[in-house]
């Protein structure tokens, strides 16, 4: 359920990390993560995550091939793939 949150955007712009020291994680296509994903940086998902995602001070980009089966909490959320769960973007 995305609700009316203005920080949820369906088109994913080019990612420009705020600094070279900002954590950046990519879940590649064909990769499936089963478990709670917690990070403080940016995450791009081309594969699948089967649990909740909590990203502090960062953003989550679910690409067209990406799938998430769980809740997502983050600052900004871009969805071009599939999400089954509740989303909360600050």
Domain range for 85 is: 25-89
On whether residue 11 sits in a domain, the answer given is: no
Burial 2-34 (b: 16+ CB within 10 A, else e): eeeeeebbeebeeeeeeeeeeeeeebeeeeeee
On whether residue 62 sits in a domain, the answer given is: yes
User: pLDDT (tens digit, 9 = 90+) per residue, 40-68?
Assistant: 889 999 999 999 999 988 999 999 999 99
On whether residue 14 sits in a domain, the answer given is: no
How far apart, in whole angstroms, are the C-alpha atoms of residue 29 and residue 20? 24
Q: How many domains does the chain have?
A: 1
How far apart, in whole angstroms, are the C-alpha atoms of residue 73 and residue 18? 19
Q: HSE-up of 26 (CA within 13 Å, CB side)?
A: 7
pTM of the entire predicted model: 0.76
Write out the DSSP string of 10-23. Answer: SS-PPP--SSTTS-
On whether residue 67 sits in a domain, the answer given is: yes
What's the pLDDT at 90? Answer: 86
């Amino acid at each position: 359920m995305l609700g009316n949150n203005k920080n949820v955007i369906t088109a994913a712009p080019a990612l420009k990390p705020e600094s070279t020291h900002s954590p950046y994680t990519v879940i590649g296509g064909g990769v499936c993560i089963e478990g709670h994903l917690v990070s403080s940086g940016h995450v791009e998902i081309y594969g699948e995550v089967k649990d909740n995602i909590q990203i502090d001070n960062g953003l989550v980009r679910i690409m067209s091939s990406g799938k998430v089966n769980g809740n997502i909490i983050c600052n900004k959320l871009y969805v071009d793939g599939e999400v089954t769960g509740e989303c909360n973007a600050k």
